[in-house]
Amino acid sequence: MRVLIIGAGIAGPVTAMALRNIGIEATVYEARRGQPESPGLFLGLGVNGMRALDELDLLEPVLREQTIPTPRSEFRNAAGQLLGIVCNGSLRDGIPSVTISRGALQESLAVAAQSKGVQFHYGKRLLTYQVASDSVTARFTDGTEACADLLIGADGIHSRVRQIMSPIAPGPSYTGLLNFGGIVRDSGLEPTVDTMRMVWGRRAFFGYTVRDDGEAWWFANIGHKSEPKRDELDEISMASWRQKLVELFSADPAYITHLIRRAPSIWVAPIHDIPSIPRWHRGRAVLVGDSAHAVSPSAGQGASLAIEDALVLAKCLRDLAPTRAALERYEALRKPRAERIVAVGRQRGNYKAPPNRAAAWLRDLMMPIALRLFATEERLAWIHDYRVDWHEPITPAPA
Ligand SMILES: Cc1cc2nc3c(=O)[nH]c(=O)nc-3n(C[C@H](O)[C@H](O)[C@H](O)COP(=O)(O)OP(=O)(O)OC[C@H]3O[C@@H](n4cnc5c(N)ncnc54)[C@H](O)[C@@H]3O)c2cc1C
């Protein structure tokens, strides 16, 4: 079987390697011309995602990148008081879950895949694809084509493959939040040691972690009712964004405005998710990662779900025939979990920008109780303890 993979983000390279492990030749086509465009944005890699990488011997190359161990998330209120601590988990041998630059993660996965012989073609933006009885042909915006037995859409939240496969499928849904991020090389703050510290501020939400050498990585989420277009966001200068953030966090712990002021650049993007689409596969095409189920960063699970998808899809193709049965089983195994986690992300995001002071007060009152009851290791085990055992065969769907 020959496979075309559209997208070299996270799901694409991992799927290519999982397929290569079972003797399927996969080629990756990526719209970008080279390096990931936004290396400054970072993400929390869940232990479930790390465990899945480990199944394919990919964890070590990823951990060779610059990472910050963050096995704990600490939640504070606007007065700086501790409301609760949530365990993000550790792997075998105590390897902690980590925060990593999104670009570094993508790059390390691409390099690992290339070193195993997977071919990548950059500057190839999928325009459309056509399915015939015995093949699928992808057409790119540069006029070239590629043909294979199966096409995998790993092309992210704004997936072209999804649009072609299911023109009526709902697109990304705006969550009402804007996401900001920055990196401060020499922050002058104490290291946060194994901790991502989050603050439910009076008017917005802030998270940061400080490495041992003083470098701080921060993000902020603010409420913004109507969905802004990308060019509207770009028209606003960085100085204006900085001023707005400083104003919003002016009554919160001082380290927040300190970090906002000292970041050389600030990234901004609206947060979207995709709660559910009717189908993940059709004919000779199938979706993995954000293209099927984009999850808000509030869940901290988008990358991990994409990696899990890659393994499960490859296992289904390995163990089940015909291909249609494999794709059906893959969707049945993955959709309920992915949609449940997308809902968790949406719910967590809803607490981040309270509509008024009363709502913020009530949230801060309830949060210590909610964290103690619902954010325990046991209650989060369904997310963190999930394991895709690469060697365990996939059984056909029960009749
Ligand atoms: C600011 C931010 C913070 C986040 N925080 C977290 C977090 O803490 N934890 C977490 O797990 N997840 C987080 N995420 C989500 C995570 O980044 C995504 O869930 C993950 O990247 C999904 O991987 P993917 O491979 O499906 O898509 P992507 O990584 O988006 O990759 C898609 C690739 O497809 C390419 N592409 C797009 N269209 C085409 C086309 N037509 N033709 C060819 N190529 C195309 C793109 O250039 C891209 O390289 C965050 C995301 C953002 C933006």
* 216-231 confidence digits (pLDDT tens): 999 999 999 999 998 9
Q: Give the whole-angstrom CA distance, residue 91 versus residue 336.
A: 24
The end-to-end CA distance of the chain, in Å, is 27
In this prediction, residues 138-150 reach a mean pLDDT of 98
Q: Domain limits at 331?
A: 2-67+100-172+273-350
Q: How far is the CA of 306 from the centre of ligand 1 (A)?
A: 9
Q: How far is the CA of 276 from the centre of ligand 1 (A)?
A: 17
Q: How far is the CA of 157 from the centre of ligand 1 (A)?
A: 7
Q: Give the whole-angstrom CA distance, residue 120 versus residue 41.
A: 23
The residue contributing the CA closest to ligand 1 atom 27 is 156
Within-domain flag for 35 = yes
Within-domain flag for 281 = yes
Q: Directed axis angle between helix 323-350 and helix 302-319, to 10°?
A: 170
Note whether 162 and 169 are within 8 A (CB): yes
Q: How far is the CA of 158 from the centre of ligand 1 (A)?
A: 9
CATH number, domain of 290, equals: 3.50.50.60
In this prediction, residues 162-166 reach a mean pLDDT of 97
Within-domain flag for 393 = no
Specify the range with the lowest mean pLDDT, choosing from 15-19, 149-153, 358-362, 391-395: 358-362
pLDDT attached to residue 247 = 98
pLDDT attached to residue 61 = 94
Within-domain flag for 210 = no
β 119-122/25-30 pair status? parallel
How many structural domains compose the chain? Answer: 1
* pLDDT per position as a tens digit, 54-107: 999 999 999 999 899 999 999 999 999 999 999 997 887 889 999 999 999 999
Within-domain flag for 47 = yes
Q: Give the whole-angstrom CA distance, residue 82 versus residue 96.
A: 22
Which residues lie closer than 8 Å to 71 by C-beta, 6 or more apart? 87, 88, 89, 90, 96, 97, 194
Q: Give the whole-angstrom CA distance, residue 109 versus residue 13.
A: 6
pLDDT at 39 over 60: no
Mutate to test the pocket of ligand 1, among 10, 217, 346 (most ligand atoms within 8 A of CB): 10
| Ligand 1 surroundings by CB, under 6 angstroms | 6-12, 29-32, 41, 43-44, 102, 125-126, 154-156, 160, 179, 269, 289-291, 297, 300-304, 306
In this prediction, residues 252-261 reach a mean pLDDT of 98
Mutate to test the pocket of ligand 1, among 290, 298, 337, 346 (most ligand atoms within 8 A of CB): 290
How large a percentage of the chain has pLDDT more than 90? 88
Q: How far is the CA of 165 from the centre of ligand 1 (A)?
A: 19
Specify the range with the lowest mean pLDDT, choosing from 111-120, 131-140, 259-268, 347-356: 347-356
The residue contributing the CA closest to ligand 1 atom 50 is 297
Q: Give the whole-angstrom CA distance, residue 368 versus residue 85.
A: 9
pLDDT at 136 over 60: yes
In this prediction, residues 292-316 reach a mean pLDDT of 97
Within-domain flag for 200 = no
Atom nearest to 179 CA in ligand 1: 1
* pLDDT per position as a tens digit, 180-192: 999 999 999 999 9
* pLDDT per position as a tens digit, 101-129: 999 999 999 999 999 999 999 999 999 99
